[in-house]
Chains A and B, each alone.
Chain A
Amino acid sequence: DAKTTQPPSMDCAEGRAANLPCNHSTISGNEYVYWYRQIHSQGPQYIIHGLKNNETNEMASLIITEDRKSSTLILPHATLRDTAVYYCIVRPWGGSGNTPLVFGKGTRLSVIA
């Protein structure tokens, strides 16, 4: 079973920041938080991941609370092309990548013009 809780859907105005929350209150010390998105009819796309520090890349920022029980994915300037289902996933750091991702239901983000 997925270890995360996400709202089923969210709307965001184009050009505004999209803040997608994720609750992972049972996260273990060796588990990372991963974010993926799936644009309609495509394979999931990796966005970002983190352990406990905030992370930023060219796509998004990941803010993890100090107790690590929740996180927020931030798309700073949402565009229509960001409309997708966003998945928050926790997974242990296996070193060799032995543990595959387990997907929950995700959040369907609709960016509105």
Chain B
Amino acid sequence: SAVISQKPSRDICQRGTSLTIQCQVDSQVTMMFWYRQQPGQSLTLIATANQGSEATYESGFVIDKFPISRPNLTFSTLTVSNMSPEDSSIYLCSVVTRPGTDTQYFGPGTRLTVL
């Protein structure tokens, strides 16, 4: 498994502002993903964070709203831009630690409230 940390753990933000969420893993991983969990809902995949190249976004999510960086094999950031109350969610980082295992592990999440 892997130890995954996210910063911040929670935040309250004003509409129109942006927040960058950090995901740090204690070992090199092959795949990193970002998910969103809206209140009372299941998890929805936002994008796959690709090292050294642009992220791959799922339908309904765009780079201008959710820019993602992954500069190396242990770190990624997700920015929620120009926030509105509808962006209030838990944002989760997820990783696959090595090829051939396929098991995905999740971070503790970042709880975002937009006023």
Residues on A close to B: CB < 8 A? Answer: 32, 34, 41-46, 49, 87, 91, 93-98, 100-106
Contacts and interface: CB of A to CB of B under 8 A. Distances in A.
A103 B38 CA distance: 13
Contacts of A46: 1, 103-105
A101 B103 CA distance: 9
A98 B92 CA distance: 18
Given A96-B99, A97-B101, A103-B43, A45 B106 contact: yes
B75 interface: no
B82 interface: no
A34 B105 CA distance: 12
B31 interface: yes
Best-surrounded residue of A32, A34, A43, A94 (most CB of chain B within 10 A): A43
Contacts of A41: 90, 109, 111
A96 B29 CA distance: 11
A40 to B, nearest CB: 11
Nearest to A92: B102
B43 A98 contact: no
B102 A97 contact: yes
B107 A100 contact: no
Q: How large is the interface on B (under 10, 10 to 19, 20 to 34, 35 or more residues)?
A: 20 to 34
B45 A100 contact: yes
B94 A94 contact: no
B27 interface: no
A28 to B, nearest CB: 15
Nearest to A94: B102
B30 interface: yes
B53 interface: no
Contacts of A96: 30-31, 99-100
A104 B42 contact: yes
B42 A103 contact: yes
A45 B108 CA distance: 10
B102 A44 contact: no
A43 B103 contact: no
Given A43-B92, A103-B42, 14 more contacts: A32-B102, A41-B111, A43-B4, A43-B106, A43-B109, A44-B43, A49-B102, A95-B102, A96-B99, A98-B31, A100-B45, A100-B104, A102-B45, A104-B42
